[in-house]
Amino acid sequence: MAPSSSPTAMDAQAQRIIDEVVGKSGIPFHARSAYTHATWAKTFSSLPELYIEPETQEEVEQIVKLARLCRRRLTTVGHAHSPSTLTCTSNWMLSLDKMNKILSFDGATGDATMQAGIRLYQLSDELAARGFTMPIMGSVNEQSIAGVISTGTRGSSLKHGLLSESISSLKITLGNGQTVQCSATEDPDLFRAALLSLGALGIITEVTFRAVPAFALRWHQTIDADARILAAWDTTLWTQADFVRVWWLPYTRRAVLWRADAVPQADLDSGRETLRDPPVGYYDGALGYHIYHNLLALSRWVPRIVPWIEWFVFGLQYGFRNGASSTTSAVQPSSKAFWMNCLYSQYVTEWAIPLARGPEALARLGAWLNRLQPGDPGYVNHGIPFSAEGVYVHSPVEVRVCDSRVRTSAARNNRPWLDSTVKDGPTLNINATMYRPYLRDPPGLERWFAGFEWLMRDLGGRPHWAKNFKVAPEELADWYGDDLVQWRRVRDAADPDGLFVGPWHRQHVLDPEAPRYPAEEVESGRVSVGPRTGVTVHGEVQSVKAGEEAVHSRQDSGVSAVL
Ligand SMILES: Cc1cc2nc3c(=O)[nH]c(=O)nc-3n(C[C@H](O)[C@H](O)[C@H](O)COP(=O)(O)OP(=O)(O)OC[C@H]3O[C@@H](n4cnc5c(N)ncnc54)[C@H](O)[C@@H]3O)c2cc1C
């Protein structure tokens, strides 16, 4: 299949199979063609042959059976917030947007069973109506619950690990079209693999999640010299409140500290505390948003103004003066307090390193980016083997924490095999963002990410699965050891034909030397068709070797045999 920018027409044989199967079963097949898929950041896109929106469990199972018969790869998409090619496919794409209901709720325990397509904002609303909420969230709430757990999404608190730590069981439709339930006690290996599956095991259709009684957050935000904020790193910085985030400004050597504590509902009910929003920030208003956007666009042509933009925009947003006088505060429902404005299209790379190595990470990054020389204040030997000459990076670098030991462990059978956070200690998650003003790539991106990733590796880090990263097979094996072996084993058992495997999986998590699966999609080309859809990735399902029969022709003896 040659790369093109128009959707692929369905071939007659596949159409015949679909008509025959759907005619016989009477189960609807809600599919449409001519759909363009793009990631939230518009970094990558693809042209799935079909975009399918099932409404019931039996429709999902029929889709899997049809994909097997028609020899198509299946990709489930949430809200496409993962900025890589992870959700790109030229085959069949499934969205569970119409499977977004709460199925049951237990007010005594907070256990909510829901369809896996529910978005976090819908879940928050549903839980709030019952007096409950999610214990922690990341920065946004548009993702689906299944998408969030499938890449290991996390917030920022040493009292929590991945968001998936609150999942007690789930249902997943596997490569044979059958749906199974798993938990820490029921098929625990499948549970640990499915808790961070990268969409490669099957289709998660239901999730049981333990919610907590609703709480508000009283938060404070202060900008200060980074040295003053980071001085408390080993003592109180990360433990001073239930939730703590730091946004680091590498050129002005300042940092924003956000800390939040839970306010009991009783305090709100009694009037001891009242909900209040913070003042509107600079770039949260329309004018600031557009001025920042245009300054970033200008810096594509004049990159050396980026440090000035950092001083100007973040001065307006958080204050030009350091210290207590810059503090703003608010009391908001937790789901609102966690949310932040992620602004424009962007590239991101985020790594998990041991928390104790954080000060070293920031000191070395600062020395590299500011091209410090011996004798300069803040100089350390960064060791990064690339020049930062001409590299100007966007701010802030997001610095967050989590601790996956609090609620998950191998012994409890609920630590995901592919959890990228630190196994035996608290984790620092460092996130570098480069905006794409007006969907145009910024200069210096490659070298910035190369320098950043080199340092993260040197500090014993592992990348966040959702974000942009490159990995060599030996490195992956070294990072995950037996956990990776176990995940691949469980994946192979769940989906022996590779119905859920695409090029991203082959490059990032599977053994590149292992034989290709019969239904695996391989990349056949990439074209850049315009900024709105980024790079369009094309793929196809090929025979493993010449003369091998397609899945559907192997089973030609009966469409009905599969049903
Ligand atoms: C603006 C922004 C803010 C973000 N903030 C944070 C943050 O604070 N913390 C953090 O850790 N991450 C963060 N992320 C990353 C984000 O949480 C992840 O990319 C998450 O996976 C996106 O969820 P989604 O529903 O969009 O899933 P998608 O991106 O659509 O899919 C992600 C993966 O889940 C799989 N999947 C989706 N649904 C199913 C299903 N039903 N069954 C099986 N597999 C499925 C897909 O196949 C794919 O492999 C952010 C991303 C953006 C763009």
Q: What is the DSSP pairing of strand 50-52 with strand 92-95?
A: parallel
pLDDT in tens, 388-427: 999 999 999 999 999 999 999 999 999 999 999 999 999 9
Closest C-alpha to 144, from 40, 65, 284:
40
Query: Would you call 261 helix, strand, or coil by DSSP?
Result: strand
4 versus 138: the higher-pLDDT residue is 138
Whether 69 lines ligand 1, by a CB cut-off of 6 Å, is no
CA distances in angstroms from 305 to 348, 390, 479, listed in the order given: 21, 11, 38
- In terms of phi and psi (left: phi > 0; alpha: psi -120 to 50; beta: otherwise), the region of 295 is alpha
Whether 529 lines ligand 1, by a CB cut-off of 6 Å, is no
Whether 63 lines ligand 1, by a CB cut-off of 6 Å, is no
Q: How far is the CA of 150 from the centre of ligand 1 (A)?
A: 7
User: Residue of the nearest CA to atom 36 in ligand 1?
Assistant: 147
Residue-averaged pLDDT of the chain = 92
Whether 76 lines ligand 1, by a CB cut-off of 6 Å, is yes
> Predicted confidence band at 365 (pLDDT cuts at 50, 70, 90)?
very high
Torsion angles phi and psi, residue 529, rounded to 5:
-100, -10
Q: How many Cβ atoms are within 10 Å of 123's Cβ, its own excluded?
A: 26
pLDDT in tens, 52-108: 999 999 999 999 999 999 999 999 999 999 999 999 999 999 999 999 999 999 999
pLDDT at 8 (0 to 100): 54
| DSSP character string of 212-223 | EE--EEEEEEEE
Whether 116 lines ligand 1, by a CB cut-off of 6 Å, is yes
* 300 CB-near residues (< 8 Å, 6+ apart): 437, 440, 442, 443
Whether 75 lines ligand 1, by a CB cut-off of 6 Å, is yes
Helix-, strand-, coil-residue percentages of the chain, each rounded to 5: 30, 25, 45
pLDDT at 516 (0 to 100): 95
Contact 414, 339 (CB under 8 A): no
pLDDT in tens, 288-315: 899 999 999 999 999 999 999 999 999 9
User: Residue of the nearest CA to atom 27 in ligand 1?
Assistant: 147
Whether 154 lines ligand 1, by a CB cut-off of 6 Å, is yes
Cite the beta strand spans of 226-369 per DSSP E. Answer: 243-249, 254-263, 328-333, 346-354
Task: Give me the percent of the chain exceeding a pLDDT of 70.
Answer: 94
pLDDT in tens, 118-137: 999 999 999 999 999 999 99
Which atom of ligand 1 is found nearest the CA of 154? 11
Q: How far is the CA of 201 from the centre of ligand 1 (A)?
A: 16
pLDDT at 529 (0 to 100): 74
Whether 193 lines ligand 1, by a CB cut-off of 6 Å, is no
Is a pLDDT exceeding 90 seen at residue 556? no
Whether 160 lines ligand 1, by a CB cut-off of 6 Å, is no
pLDDT at 531 (0 to 100): 67
- Please give the average per-residue pLDDT across 457-469, as a whole number: 96
> Predicted confidence band at 261 (pLDDT cuts at 50, 70, 90)?
very high
Whether 121 lines ligand 1, by a CB cut-off of 6 Å, is no
Q: Alpha helices, DSSP H only, in 459-520?
A: 473-480, 482-494, 503-508
Whether 139 lines ligand 1, by a CB cut-off of 6 Å, is yes
Which atom of ligand 1 is found nearest the CA of 346? 53
Residues linked to residue 332 through DSSP beta bridges, in sequence order: 217
Q: How far is the CA of 58 from the centre of ligand 1 (A)?
A: 25
Which atom of ligand 1 is found nearest the CA of 464? 11
pLDDT at 71 (0 to 100): 92
How far, in Å, CA of 228 to CA of 323, rounded?
A: 9
Is a pLDDT exceeding 90 seen at residue 533? no
Q: How far is the CA of 364 from the centre of ligand 1 (A)?
A: 30
- pTM for the full model? 0.93
Is a pLDDT exceeding 90 seen at residue 283? no
Is a pLDDT exceeding 50 seen at residue 217? yes
Is a pLDDT exceeding 80 seen at residue 562? no
Is a pLDDT exceeding 50 seen at residue 177? yes
Which atom of ligand 1 is found nearest the CA of 205? 41
Best mutation site among 143, 427, 430, 521 for ligand 1 pocket (most ligand atoms within 8 Å of CB): 143
Kindly state the helix (H) or strand (E) to which residue 122 belongs, with its residue range: helix 120-129
CA-CA-CA-CA dihedral for 543, 82, 117, 113, to nearest 10: 110
Closest C-alpha to 444, from 389, 495, 377:
389
Q: How far is the CA of 307 from the centre of ligand 1 (A)?
A: 31
Q: How far is the CA of 77 from the centre of ligand 1 (A)?
A: 9
Whether 143 lines ligand 1, by a CB cut-off of 6 Å, is yes
Return the biggest CA–CA distance within the chain. Answer: 79
Whether 346 lines ligand 1, by a CB cut-off of 6 Å, is no
Best mutation site among 60, 79, 82 for ligand 1 pocket (most ligand atoms within 8 Å of CB): 82
Cis peptide before 354 (omega within 30 of 0): no
pLDDT at 281 (0 to 100): 78
pLDDT at 193 (0 to 100): 98
Whether 146 lines ligand 1, by a CB cut-off of 6 Å, is yes
390 versus 550: the higher-pLDDT residue is 390
User: Residue of the nearest CA to atom 10 in ligand 1?
Assistant: 153
> Predicted confidence band at 541 (pLDDT cuts at 50, 70, 90)?
confident
Task: Give me the percent of the chain exceeding a pLDDT of 90.
Answer: 88
> Predicted confidence band at 532 (pLDDT cuts at 50, 70, 90)?
low
Whether 40 lines ligand 1, by a CB cut-off of 6 Å, is yes
Which atom of ligand 1 is found nearest the CA of 96? 41
